[in-house]
Amino acid sequence: MTQADRIIAIQEIKNNPDSKTEEVRIINYNGEIKPYPVYLIPLEYLVYNVVNGRIRSRTRSHEERFGALDPSNDDDATIIEQFLFDSAKGRNEKTLESIEEIGQQESGIITEDGVVIDGNRRSLLLRMINRKNNSNTKFKAVILEDKLQDNIQEIIKLETSYQMGVDSKVDYNPIEKYIRCKELNEYYSIQQISSIMAEDEKKINSWLEILNLMDNYLTYTGTPNVYTKLDKKEGHFVDLVQYIRNYAGGNNNVNWEYSDADVTKLRNIYFDYIRLGVPVMNARIIARPNLSRSFFCHHDIWSSFVQERDNIIDNVQEISLQKLREDNPEETNESLIKQVEDNWKEQVEAPLNEIFLYYSGVIDDFIADYAPLRLLQRARNSLSRIDLEKLNHIRDNEINLLIGEIEAIIHKIK
């Protein structure tokens, strides 16, 4: 069914009193809060929303390889359906059982040309039930008076307010919020995005900063816009953004004069270990601004580590993802990317892990050597906090005994 056909069919639905339910849904759209009637709409009149915020990392990664997805095309619709189902598989399975037993409880939102703005997963589950039971259950939804492309700014705002509102974040893929934040920033100020996404402005700015770092990582690894590579890596970028921010303009926890180029080198090396799959807790030893627990904070450790890492990376012969795509047009994006990553890891995994473990041991040795000084500092700080006025309330013999023990320890240290 073409877009023009969908528009005509949906208009006929609106004109047919039998299609109108007794339900209404209050919606804030185009700056106006008002009730919208809910209609029963045949599923064949609907298409999935390809810019759905819940699956944006999947659709953008797919489109980077194969071009734009057309939800009115059966093959592309099948791809979108898989993304939708996999985005919250456990919850979808439970919702499927619920809809099959008691029907659709929450109405959706569609545009006048049938694009599902709110309720993509519910419409998918209804389609699955219809296919299974050879039935013709309809989708309950309100109908906006716009097409998606005619008012995309307001429609994305509306969709986001439902998908990322206070009550709807539980099963939201972590990476999706960064992408949606950037897309909203094309139309709205930070203050407006803060309201739409129900987050404070500081967090919105942080998300944009983190996504910029994620984009740098994808470009660095030769896979720009392939956001599926960021799955389960959010914590690394949250940490790294903070480290880079702390090193801007100098940091007292670093025992050498570093430059912006050194911080860029730090970022790229951190990228290597993210790509290698080092857990976030382990990767922190590379960069955190802590004099006793960081390679970067010690010039002698850092310079040796960098030299050995560069010797490894400079000899890597990477496979071109673009060349693989040209040579293997039928293979999936995920399969080709896996080949690239496996080839890279095969060359660097053992030596990169070896130097990582070695310099982690060097840091551990430094901590052991540094421990007595830290304990003395703590002892000094504890003694300096004693309120001398209150010593009169304690018996002299107890004070003298403790002072004698402290003096004996100090004598040994000297």
Over the stretch 251-291, which tens digit does the pLDDT of each residue have?
Answer: 778 889 999 999 999 999 999 999 999 999 999 999 998 86
Predicted TM-score (pTM) of this structure: 0.78
The CA distance from 222 to 322, in Å, is 9
- Both 172 and 290 in one domain: the answer is no
The CA distance from 87 to 149, in Å, is 25
Overall domain count for the chain: 2
- Both 70 and 114 in one domain: the answer is yes
The CA distance from 89 to 205, in Å, is 31
Range of the domain at 132: 3-218
- Both 194 and 308 in one domain: the answer is no
* Nearest by Cα to 104 from 138, 133, 142, 144: 138
* Locus of tokens 């456990």: 90
The neighbour count for residue 253, using CB atoms within 10 Å, is: 15
**Given this model, what pLDDT does residue 91 score?**
85
Torsion, Cα of 396, 397, 399, 404 (10° steps): 140
- Both 254 and 206 in one domain: the answer is no
Residue 371 lies in a domain: no
Residue 323 lies in a domain: yes
- Both 65 and 204 in one domain: the answer is yes
The CA distance from 215 to 227, in Å, is 8
Of 321, 338, 364, which residue sits at a domain end?
364
Residue 83 lies in a domain: yes
**Given this model, what pLDDT does residue 162 score?**
80
**Given this model, what pLDDT does residue 108 score?**
93
The CA distance from 38 to 58, in Å, is 30
Residue 373 lies in a domain: no
Residue 159 lies in a domain: yes
- Both 347 and 284 in one domain: the answer is yes
The CA distance from 227 to 403, in Å, is 63
Of 197, 218, 239, which residue sits at a domain end?
218
Residues 177/168, Cβ–Cβ less than 8 Å: no
- Both 210 and 313 in one domain: the answer is no
Residue 71 lies in a domain: yes
3-state helix, strand, coil in the chain (%, to 5): 65, 10, 30
**Given this model, what pLDDT does residue 319 score?**
87
- Both 207 and 265 in one domain: the answer is no
Structure tokens at 117: 């703005």
Residue 223 lies in a domain: no
**Given this model, what pLDDT does residue 190 score?**
95
Of 319, 349, 364, which residue sits at a domain end?
364
- Run of H or E residues at 143: strand 139-143
- Both 169 and 301 in one domain: the answer is no
Residue 369 lies in a domain: no
**Given this model, what pLDDT does residue 332 score?**
80
- Both 189 and 281 in one domain: the answer is no
**Given this model, what pLDDT does residue 381 score?**
79
> Mean pLDDT per 10-residue run, the chain (414 residues)?
94 95 93 94 94 87 86 93 88 89 91 93 93 92 91 88 59 82 92 90 96 96 90 95 91 88 96 96 92 87 96 92 86 86 95 95 72 71 80 72 86 86
Residues 81/48, Cβ–Cβ less than 8 Å: yes
Query: What radius of gyration, in Å, describes the C-alpha atoms of the chain?
Result: 29
Residue partners of 79: CB distance under 8 A and separation at least 6: 62, 69
The neighbour count for residue 158, using CB atoms within 10 Å, is: 20
- Both 51 and 198 in one domain: the answer is yes
**Given this model, what pLDDT does residue 167 score?**
42
- Both 211 and 75 in one domain: the answer is yes
Collapse the DSSP code of 116 into the 3-class scheme (helix H, G, I; strand E, B; otherwise coil) and give the result: strand
**Given this model, what pLDDT does residue 172 score?**
61
